[in-house]
Chain A
Amino acid sequence: MQCTPTSALIRGLGAATVALGLAACGGSQVNPDTPGAVSLTDPSGDDNGPGDYIYPTDQVYKPGSFDLRSFEVIPKGDTVEFRVGVGSRIEDPWGSKDWGGNGFSLQMAFIHIDTDGVAGSGVTAALPGVNVRFAEAQAWDKVVIISPQGPTRVNSEVETKAADVKDRVVVPKVTRASGRTLIAVVDVADLGGAPQPGWGYQVLMQSNEGFPAKTDLLTRKVNEFEGQHRFGGGTDYDNDPHVIDMLAGRAAGGDDEKAAQHAALSKYTRDANEPTPADLAEVPMIYPGK
């Protein structure tokens, strides 16, 4: 978060003193001295997957809703807080509390973590419905699902559609939204230990689909043409990456990272109607400590 005189003034007005506002301008909540703490940035305006994805047409999908802007890992004793920032205020147009949800409706983020950095250890396929893969040397070991759905529904979907990796899936004990930030609190034990400087991360932005296809883990499809509740710009088969935004490059927010994202997500076999893993786009793992 940037701290300008204007922002300091407005913060200060919020608490009746400019001094307090200035004191509060400390940037992110991440303390860089904490081992395993991470603060990454993603450029704005790249919420278009390989470069030409279009949001669904229903008015609930507001511009920037899936534009990944920031990602933070905040170790806090026995727990770890993950914070995923997007480009628009997170809303709850479908009243998630009525269906046991977490106070927001649209966004969903898969945080893939490579905890051991060992080639050949972990999983290369992303969760069902995302249609991407990881390189063998960057296989993920844990994935945290930030979903508006309650834990019962998420666990059930994992059991049904991703049973082979269910022990690697972490459903947070607290999931919520505040402003433009998705927040998940996870037990250290569920991650296999406290975050380490060498861990790798990849955040894949998706949209929560309450009525997913039978092979999709609560993910919203990308089709050739957008629909009321379908993204457009891809294909009508499951070969295109169903990823709207992700971390890329050095994850410092540079414009070159847009190009890196577009390049990575464009490398899939468009005419593979029944794609094999090799036909899917390969996404990178980001290692902030390396």
Chain B
Amino acid sequence: MSARTASILPVGGLVAVGAALACLLAPAPARADTDNFELNGKIYTKYLYKNDDSAGCLSLSNPFWPDNIGGNNGACTEFELTILGRASKYVTTGVRLKSRFGALWQGWWENGDVRWDYPNDTLFVENTSGESLGMNHAQYVKLRGAFIRVAPPIPTVRWVHIGASDLGMFNEWTVGKVRYIDRDNANGVFVEGDFADRTVQYHAAAIATPKLFIGPRWTSGLSNADPRADYWASDWTYALKLDYRPSSALALRLIGSYVHDWEADDNDPDATGPSDVERGTNRAIEREIRYQGANATLDARLSPESMDWLNLTGLVAYSYNLVNTDYAANSVRDDQGFSPLLYLVDGEGEPEAAQGFAGKVRVEMYDPFEAGVSLKLEYFNIGSEFNAIFGARREGDVLLTDGIIGSGFIKGGQLPTLNLANEFIDFDEAWYETIIGWHGATALLELQRGLLAASLEGTFVTYNTNQQGRDTDNQYPDFLYTDGFTDPQAFTADQDYGNIYDRGSDPRSVYKEFQDRQTLIAVLNAESAIPGAEDLKFAVKGKWVHDTDSRKADNAEDDYVGDLFLGYGMLKWQATNEFATGLGYEWQRWDEERRSGSQEQGFYDYATTKHTGRLVASYTFGGLTFNYLLEYFHKDQERDRPGSPDQQWRVWRAKASVETGW
């Protein structure tokens, strides 16, 4: 029923009902007119197994509050239906319906009944968080995204998009593309168009700020997360992108974004007492700003027509973040240093904005000598207080370097935010590290000749975050775990939020009380088909990371020296057109002098050896895709620290998926 029909029902309801009945009784057309409809369906089933006793279909779920979809053993199915429609040639629509993930096949008939909690101070209480009404295990179909797209007859405007979006129109430094699992969760109003004969294109947006991860304590006002805040429904983020192409060789892009987090004024008379005009109540509550964030980038791409082998890109970025601690708890102080934002104060102790600049320049020369050899050079300088709070949280990579966190089996990426999202992932997925404070350069030499593709990288990084006596108790978040190489494989093997298993530094940890750090990275990659047996391909990788941190300047006994050595090889066989398989092995050795400890108790050495083997297989036929991965993860960690015994991991785990779309 249309809105117009609904509006006349009180007066002409009988007429409307009669008309509807007439429509139902009218002869059906000879065939359905599907020109305005497009339906796409998909069924995805995952099998996840590990030699432990946990139940669930996700290696690493939400690490903070208990979320019972996480676990290492189970078979789970999800279904999604995407509907695209066309109301007219000027109006298109789209909807994605998707079943809730997390129900195991063994669950049989879990129905999403009410969940009760049993706290200590009372008999029981209904859990009303909305996250846990038992529905985690019900396979209800949920509206995951709906949009309307209009081409209105307004000068310069090409499209107005209303509703769900993946926010892919901006960039990692401002408003980042939403990670894949959340791809339709963002909503807003987006206007895109052009002028000056299409040499200038614009994209403006008002985006509903997500209440669950933007702002102090990862919220824009959810009281469960921050008792000082309780108002999130009017929080918006605004963004504007301008693209200008003065010539076919040069492209310029300017992007700005602004996040504004409102709270209700705690001191408003309407909030502090009874209705009384003498007190100034008026049924309207004033608002106060809880948080403001602004980001901007200007980037340029130069691709000379006469030198099609040359590509130059540059980007400068700025960020501004200000927290009003009257309405936001200090999570650096209260949450053991876990915070996506800084809580800076001036000399008077008043909140002060964290501001930072960042920039990078990249030169790419693709095969300039026609010999299959390419060279890429990049300089990067990320300010110590730069932070893209609404930037890309994962599934992006803004630097040329392989970085520190990436290995052979586990890919890595570098992003300029403290708001990384290395959760809701399986053990085979990529990990991301923050590059706030990174200052250095990368040279990458590539060779592509015949069947062979190889690359050699050298990167040097020093850190703008190097400082003595930094206040990590109240102002700068250190994410508690500041020392040692990060082990993504152990993260997903342990499901260990408390880090009791000592898996290394948090990928977001860039601030330390005492730091004087620099890093060298060298990476060699090669892959090729084997001559004479082209169905066989191999890939190898070697990596060395030399990481040093002198920590406290006047303490010669706390200097960290870490060396990471990595060797990786994978042999893949395309057995038939439909079936491919592969076998791989990765070795890592970490020698870390004075990795963990404290200034008071001293620092102690660690030695880590890791062996990982993998078998992979894929089969694709007739629209069905099957993937299988079997991994053995073998890790030994020797710890000299008193009270910290050596540890070992002997983990078998497997993941399979069957997927078909139609």
Contact = CB atoms under 8 A, between A and B. Distances in A.
Contacts of B40: 211
A42 to B, nearest CB: 13
A34 interface: no
A159 B618 contact: no
A24 B370 contact: yes
A2 B369 contact: no
A179 B248 contact: no
A181 B372 CA distance: 12
B227 interface: no
A63 interface: yes
Interface in B70-95: 86, 89-90, 92
A21 B621 contact: no
Given A15-B369, A20-B369, A159 B621 contact: yes
B451 A185 contact: yes
Nearest to A70: B308
Contact of B306 (A7, A89, A151, A185): A7
B7 interface: no
Given A7-B306, A180-B308, A98 B430 contact: yes
Interface string A92-116: 0001011010000000000000000
Contacts of B364: 89, 179
Interface stretch (A52-60, A125-133, A195-203, A255-263): A52-60
Interface string B483-524: 000000000000000000000000000000000000000000
B540 interface: no
Contacts, number: 150
Contact of B620 (A15, A62, A152, A273): A152
B248 A64 contact: yes
A237 B169 CA distance: 27
A175 B151 CA distance: 39
Contacts of B371: 24
B534 A187 contact: yes
Contacts of B311: 89, 179
A156 B578 contact: yes
Contacts of A2: 306-307
A176 B529 CA distance: 12
Interface centre among B305, B311, B620 (most CB of A within 10 A): B620
A29 interface: yes
Interface residues of A, number: 64
Contact of A178 (B159, B305, B374): B374
B108 to A, nearest CB: 32
B248 A45 contact: yes
B656 to A, nearest CB: 15
A153 interface: yes
B422 to A, nearest CB: 15
A76 B372 CA distance: 14
Interface centre among B365, B370, B450 (most CB of A within 10 A): B370
B287 interface: no
Contact of B411 (A98, A183, A273): A98
Contacts of A171: 577
A11 interface: yes
B630 interface: no
Interface string B395-420: 10000000000000001000000000
A188 interface: no
A63 B251 contact: yes
A39 interface: no
Interface in A6-33: 6-7, 10-11, 14-15, 20-21, 24, 26, 28-29
Given A58-B169, A60-B168, A181-B367, 19 more contacts: A14-B365, A15-B369, A26-B370, A57-B192, A89-B311, A95-B430, A98-B430, A151-B574, A151-B577, A152-B578, A152-B619, A160-B623, A171-B577, A178-B367, A178-B446, A179-B311, A180-B303, A181-B366, A211-B661
20 contacts: A6-B306, A11-B365, A24-B369, A24-B370, A29-B370, A57-B169, A58-B168, A64-B248, A76-B450, A85-B308, A87-B248, A89-B364, A156-B577, A156-B578, A159-B621, A173-B535, A174-B529, A178-B446, A179-B364, A225-B151
Interface of A: 1-2, 4, 6-7, 10-11, 14-15, 20-21, 24, 26, 28-29, 44-45, 57-60, 62-64, 69, 76, 79, 81, 85, 87-89, 95, 97-98, 100, 150-153, 155-156, 159-160, 171, 173-174, 176, 178-181, 183, 185, 187, 211, 214, 224-225, 227-228, 236-237, 273
